[in-house]
Amino acid sequence: MPTVSFLTAEGEFLPSESAEEFVPYLDRLSEDDYRRFYRDMAVMRRFDTEAANLQRQGQLALWVPSHGQEAAQVGSAYAARPQDHIFPSYREHVVGMIRGLDVVDILRLLRGATMGGWKPEEHGNFHLYTLVLAAQTLHATGYAMGMQFDGQTATGNPDTDEAVIVYFGDGASSQGDANEALVFAASYQTPQVFFLQNNHWAISVPVSRQSRTPLYQRASGFGIPGTQIDGNDVLASFAVTAKSLDDARAGRGPALIEALTYRIGAHTTADDPTKYRDAEDLAYWVARDPIIRFRRYLTDLGVGGDFFTSVDEEAADFASDVRRRALEIRGPGRSVIFDNVYAEPHPLIEEQKAWLDRYEASFEGEEA
């Protein structure tokens, strides 16, 4: 099946033949939604730059850029309903933002001030970042099985029926965990979408080394539908994910979406991609930038220049607010290592905490 796309690289609305069955899903979107898609992509791009700068200035231990992947992430995130559960990898910053997470909480993690992150139930069911590649695919499948066992899905009410969407990368798709998660999802027909962002690289390993077949074709081996989309087309990402999540909620089982995109930046601030990839390859993808493409489309629809100027201003304000608050992040204090060991107070933990306080106090008055 050829790649599903609605917009050409130039931003012209020209759906591929494979996109036809997904066209009705675009009826759910108003012009306000289109503006929101653009705004979120542009604000995230600016945030990404700010976070990378903070890392270079020694204020974060590491940064994981999402530059280039904004359309794949924004479209799929808006396709989820409030009751759905999202299991991210570690690069889905804008998905978290859309679900109501304060992005400074992500920086808190990368500044080493928290050992976990946030409570998913307080942030739109956006679960924790997972650095152990593909582990989240198993968490997601287990969670989706739980929804089935608890009768929280496939009751026929799309306003309350729940589904799961899990994000993972081309590299992670080679892990045993991802394959086990797909086997269980297919066996139990879980209400679940596997959203694979193929950004063409797993650090310095190209996707061509990871698989002899296009990744979406692997789905048929598990017995679930697989669809490849132009991941730099926010409309394709929205429409295909909306259909797959609807099917999942209605009890029609799991699906795999392969979003073809590109990691424009480094894997993280810890590597230098010029050492392992060609400038031409990068230029090819820069010309397919998801934000520029959508801006052209909106301009053709009649959205005026003031809108884009106001988004740029908002993005700049957003970034400076993030910078200010990031610099205020402090460590959690030593007592936190005891706080979540048990749900209830425990005498042994109290004893250890008191010992550590006495030990630390024994240094008071000493020269540093």
Ligand X SMILES: Cc1ncc(C[n+]2csc(CCOP(=O)(O)OP(=O)(O)O)c2C)c(N)n1
Q: Which residues contact 351 (CB under 8 A, 6 or more apart)?
A: none
Residue 254 makes contact with ligand X by CB under 6 A: no
Q: To the nearest whole angstrom, how small is the minimum distance from the Cβ of residue 63 to ligand X?
A: 13
Distances (CA, A) of 354 to 93, 265, 338, 343, 361: 38, 47, 11, 19, 10
129 is an active site residue: no
**Residue from 108, 139, 263, 288 that binds ligand X (CB under 6 A)?**
263
263 is an active site residue: yes
CA–CA gap between residue 199 and residue 170 (Å, rounded): 7
Task: Return the number of the residue (203 or 301) whose C-beta is nearest ligand X.
Answer: 203
Residue 61 makes contact with ligand X by CB under 6 A: no
Query: Nearest CA to 7 among 30, 35, 26?
Result: 26
Q: Which stretch binds ligand X (CB under 6 A): 139-147, 201-209, 332-340, 342-350?
A: 201-209
**Residue from 136, 189, 199, 232 that binds ligand X (CB under 6 A)?**
199
Binding mask 134-173 for Mg ion (x = CB under 5 A): -----------------------------------xxx--
Handedness of CA 97, 301, 32, 161 (dihedral sign): negative
Catalytic residue among 67, 108, 263, 293: 263
267 is an active site residue: yes
**Residue from 201, 216, 238, 318 that binds ligand X (CB under 6 A)?**
201
Are the CB atoms for 8 and 14 separated by under 8 Å?
yes
Number of helical H runs and strand E runs in the chain: 14, 7
Question: DSSP characters for 21-45?
Answer: GGGGGGGG--HHHHHHHHHHHHHHH
**Residue from 202, 235, 291, 329 that binds ligand X (CB under 6 A)?**
202
Element (H, E) at 177: helix 176-188
Give residue for tokens 């559960």. 85
**Residue from 3, 136, 174, 199 that binds Mg ion (CB under 5 A)?**
199
Residue 258 makes contact with Mg ion by CB under 5 A: no
Residue 93 makes contact with ligand X by CB under 6 A: no
Residues with catalytic function: 263, 267, 276
**Residues at the contact surface with Mg ion, assessed by CB under 5 A:** 169-171, 199, 202
**Residues at the contact surface with ligand X, assessed by CB under 6 A:** 91, 131-133, 169-172, 199, 201-203, 263, 267
